[in-house]
Chain A
Amino acid sequence: MTSMRTLELALATPSVDASGRAVRAPLRAGPTPTMNDGGDFGAEHMLVNIGPQHPATHGVLRLVVELEGETVKRVIPHIGYLHSGFEKLGEYRHYNQIIPLTDRTDYLSPMANNVGLALAAEKLMGISITERCSVLRVIACELSRVISHLVWLGTTGIDLGAFTPFLWSFYERERVYNLQESWTGARLTTSLTRIGGMMADVPEGFEEGLRDFCRTFPNTLREVDTMFTRNAIWIGRTQGVGYLSADEAINYSLSGPMLRASGVAYDVRKDRPYLGYETYDFDVPIGEHGDIYDRYRVRLEEMFQSVRILDQALDRLQKLKGAPVNVADPRVILPPKSRAMGDMEAMIFHFKQVMEGVNAPVGEAYLGIENPKGELGYYFVSDGTAKPVRWRIRPPSFINLAALPKMCEGVLLSDVIAINASVDIVMGEIDR
């Protein structure tokens, strides 16, 4: 019988064996000396499957939990139930055609993913976008942050037993979705950006709607704050649970609120600014204890900060009224349909872009943006054609999830749910 130590190693690190075949983590935990297969009720340890069909796994995550009583001995996350092969699909698509794929990875913040992909492709192609376009993209990113954190807030509340703030936050999220729909025509699969610009400028009434949202939305946040922040039960369930020190958080390569809650002030918007974030006035909230409570506080504060950024972006949008959104490069940006139907040159550009796509120079590019869940990176390798040779996503929730077994050592079963909620995962992005 394999010893526990080697078994754990085998489970933790899928590797290649002597004959060159991949050794994969088995779907159930291997036999351990303390477990019998005949009915683990009588044994000291009990294996419980949480997921893939479970109210609290936020999708199709499957956690195999080894319990001793209610104390967790081990947690093994099994992923892949939602694998869609996005990265491979991207290799057969023009850069602009990849954008709809990004809608479907982190489907809780589609607009920010669109922005990230467009930025990475533009970096690869050496395109610099217009000022109005970057303001619009900032709005898209921050709206995404708000809706993603709202979903997180609501579902975490449910996981800890508080149902009501879920509907409050979903009410606010609906308002953002309405704005999103008026802008892009879609509530979920936005496909907002294009290489070198945007799918569309904001429609009539969008700015007023967003201003109204920015004015009233903090009230709801304050209500949630009242419900949770000083609630004794909430504090009892979250403080000191799922603790990660700053060193551990960095070693696990965490990013986003997970990292900042552990006290590491790393925010891509501040440290490697894109879209002119350095010119916006906002704070990066960081935690002190690295537990669930701090992650909650960090995310709550981030929403307030997003509203601050949105307010500033709206002012800039006002000043840039009528300025062009897309770059003036007909090789990158589709001509308007009306011109394409009547103008010979426009028709040729339209034809070439639709049939051939936008060629990228030979080379590679990586660009990370601060997505709601952490640093979302897109990596392209180009051979000079209009399709990438390799497209790779750095999904923040995939990497953040890796710290779950570490955080769950020795906690109670209820805490596993709370810790899992605090990671803020979305399976579309993890399984890709």
Chain B
Amino acid sequence: MSPELKGFILLSILKMLVVFTVVLVGVALLTLMERKVSAWMQNRRGPNRVGWAGLLQPAADGLKNIVKEETFPAVANTGLFLLAPAMAFIPALLLSGVIPWAAPLPISVDDFGEAIHAGLTSLYLEPTGRFISWLFHLVFGPVSFHGVLSGAVADLPVGFLFILAVSSLGVYGIALAGWSSNSKYALLGGLRSSAQMVSYEVAMGVSLIPVLLLSGNVSFSEIINRQQAGTWYIFPLFLSFFLYFVSGFAETNRLPFDLPEAESELIAGYHTEYSAMKFSMFFIAEYSNVVTVSAVASALFFGGWDVPFISVDPAHPGLLGTVNLGLLFTLLSALVMFVKTMTFIFVVMWIRWTLPRFRYDQLMALGWKVMLPMALGYVMIISTAIYVIEHGLGIESARTQSWILFGLNLILAYGVFGLLDRGRIVSGSNSRTRVPGPGPVAGARRVA
């Protein structure tokens, strides 16, 4: 194995460890954040007993879930019953591997052992550095790396399609959980979930096509680069973002689309029969899906790790100029990506604690009769517009194109939010019948 390949593998493993640790710990902390956000909205304090401001609450919950008794329904299909949480859990975590969490980092190191030695020496840890360097050489031999290290664990050329493909695998876990529990509540939850996720998968996929049209690529890093050169896609593709985000709610089974769980109807839906860590795995899967949806939204529409007004591309300088890639910038961009993702996660929680839940038929009607046609129509309008702008008007600059599309989006958004009356999208299941009035009665007043 060449030193160069060894370096690539070691760095990739390092990235994996960092990303998965951060995502798993982050997901645990998200449960705390959810409870704190809800407490804040409901005039409560939220968890504050375990650790400072309740920070250790997730650890306590996790411990509790690990030591709890595992129960199995008597006539459950045990194999599938055990498999289902894993099938929900694994795709949810896989997704975090292809999202670029930071700006790419150029690295040029001839020998990592020596680099560690030099680095620790500069920190006045010379003997330790010499020892670690010796140990490193002993274990790995010469390791070098020359090139640009991507901010994603795996910067797939088809990263975006990978997200769509793998995220739809999660539904298997849920459907199997519902079926194998041999419980009616779970079965209904599983059925609802499969129908819901399949329907909104379509709307979600179609709603993202304009992004591909505009960027001309399915790789996340390319999409982000294009946004740096032009504008963030939230401006030219505002409706696309709206449709994606709404479908994202449905994909992650969050209120107002949490019908598969629908606490008040189906107890806990597909995971009614699950206990202890198996239940936790569904929970982790749900939260890490929320992270993914938020991260993808920021990557596709808010420039990902792009720091506002600063560009790394000398050909398209930002308002505040251009910077060189480097460790500092990578850390800064990771922070920016974190802030963007957290903003969306907060919005997801905010909506969860605000809105009531859809009914099943309304959900399906919204998915197939509103979201999908809207997304399809939007694809047609945007593709025509892009063709006209590029070939009809001959505008080459990505920024100018974006602002023209932004104007178009403003008009479309007015059409969607202003003209499409909310009451018409979600109407009552039956037409309302007026009961014959009682006539004037002293003190009686109609309110409805």
A277-296: which have CB < 8 Å to B?
A: 282-291, 293-294
Provide 11 A-B residue pairs closer than 8 Å at the C-beta atoms, listed in order of the A residue.
Answer: A54-B267, A162-B357, A232-B422, A233-B357, A235-B427, A243-B430, A263-B438, A289-B435, A294-B447, A301-B447, A414-B360
Taking a contact as CB atoms closer than 8 A, the residue among B187, B265, B361, B435 that contacts A262 in the complex is B435
Judge whether B354 and A290 touch: CB under 8 Å. Answer: no
Number of A-B contacts (CB under 8 A): 180
**Which residues of A are found within 8 Å of B438, using beta-carbon distances?**
246, 263-265, 286
Is A256 close to B, CB under 8 A?
no
Is A159 close to B, CB under 8 A?
yes
Is A216 close to B, CB under 8 A?
no
**Which residues of B are found within 8 Å of A48, using beta-carbon distances?**
184-185, 188
Known A-B contacts A70-B188, A162-B356, A417-B265; the reply to A233 vs B430 at CB < 8 A is no
Judge whether A236 and B435 touch: CB under 8 Å. Answer: no
**Which residues of B are found within 8 Å of A236, using beta-carbon distances?**
358-359, 362, 426-428
Judge whether A265 and B444 touch: CB under 8 Å. Answer: yes
B180 to chain A, nearest CB (A): 12
Is B286 close to A, CB under 8 A?
no
Is B404 close to A, CB under 8 A?
no
Is B71 close to A, CB under 8 A?
no
**Which residues of B are found within 8 Å of A188, using beta-carbon distances?**
none
Taking a contact as CB atoms closer than 8 A, the residue among B38, B357, B428 that contacts A164 in the complex is B38
A292 to chain B, nearest CB (A): 9
Q: Return the chain A residue nearest B436 by Cβ.
A: A246
- The docked-state distance in angstroms from the alpha carbon of A41 to that of B184 is 8
Is B392 close to A, CB under 8 A?
no
Is A351 close to B, CB under 8 A?
no
**Which residues of A are found within 8 Å of B441, using beta-carbon distances?**
265, 284
Judge whether B430 and A70 touch: CB under 8 Å. Answer: no
Is A237 close to B, CB under 8 A?
yes
**Which residues of B are found within 8 Å of A298, using beta-carbon distances?**
447-448
Q: Return the chain B residue nearest A246 by Cβ.
A: B435
**Which residues of B are found within 8 Å of A288, using beta-carbon distances?**
434-435, 437, 446, 448
Judge whether B425 and A232 touch: CB under 8 Å. Answer: yes
Is B390 close to A, CB under 8 A?
no
- The docked-state distance in angstroms from the alpha carbon of A250 to that of B116 is 86
Judge whether B427 and A227 touch: CB under 8 Å. Answer: no
Taking a contact as CB atoms closer than 8 A, the residue among A163, A168, A291 that contacts B43 in the complex is A168
- The docked-state distance in angstroms from the alpha carbon of A283 to that of B444 is 6
Is A127 close to B, CB under 8 A?
no
Judge whether A161 and B360 touch: CB under 8 Å. Answer: no
Interface size class of A (residues with CB under 8 A): 35 or more
Additional A-B contact list (14), CB under 8 Å, known A70-B192, A270-B443, A414-B259:
A161-B256, A161-B262, A161-B264, A233-B355, A236-B428, A237-B359, A238-B428, A284-B444, A285-B445, A285-B446, A288-B437, A290-B435, A293-B448, A417-B265
Is B61 close to A, CB under 8 A?
no
Is B98 close to A, CB under 8 A?
no
- The docked-state distance in angstroms from the alpha carbon of A286 to that of B447 is 6
- The docked-state distance in angstroms from the alpha carbon of A317 to that of B293 is 59
Known A-B contacts A41-B187, A235-B428, A291-B428; the reply to A263 vs B356 at CB < 8 A is no
Judge whether A158 and B264 touch: CB under 8 Å. Answer: yes
Size of B's binding interface in residues, CB under 8 A? 53
Is A157 close to B, CB under 8 A?
yes
A354-408: which have CB < 8 Å to B?
A: none
B residues in contact (CB < 8 Å) with A: 38, 41-44, 184-185, 187-188, 192, 255-256, 258-259, 262-265, 267, 353-362, 422-423, 425-438, 441-448
**Which residues of B are found within 8 Å of A234, using beta-carbon distances?**
356
Judge whether A161 and B258 touch: CB under 8 Å. Answer: yes
Q: Return the chain A residue nearest B39 by Cβ.
A: A167
**Which residues of B are found within 8 Å of A161, using beta-carbon distances?**
255-256, 258, 262-264, 355-357
**Which residues of B are found within 8 Å of A262, using beta-carbon distances?**
435
**Which residues of A are found within 8 Å of B429, using beta-carbon distances?**
240-241, 411-412, 415
- The docked-state distance in angstroms from the alpha carbon of A357 to that of B140 is 95
**Which residues of A are found within 8 Å of B255, using beta-carbon distances?**
161
Is A56 close to B, CB under 8 A?
yes
- The docked-state distance in angstroms from the alpha carbon of A232 to that of B259 is 17
- The docked-state distance in angstroms from the alpha carbon of A297 to that of B445 is 12
Judge whether A415 and B359 touch: CB under 8 Å. Answer: yes
Judge whether A163 and B38 touch: CB under 8 Å. Answer: yes
Judge whether A412 and B359 touch: CB under 8 Å. Answer: yes
**Which residues of B are found within 8 Å of A231, using beta-carbon distances?**
355-356
Judge whether A160 and B264 touch: CB under 8 Å. Answer: yes
A83-136: which have CB < 8 Å to B?
A: none
- The docked-state distance in angstroms from the alpha carbon of A208 to that of B322 is 65
Is A239 close to B, CB under 8 A?
yes
Is A46 close to B, CB under 8 A?
yes
- The docked-state distance in angstroms from the alpha carbon of A245 to that of B430 is 14
- The docked-state distance in angstroms from the alpha carbon of A263 to that of B296 is 51
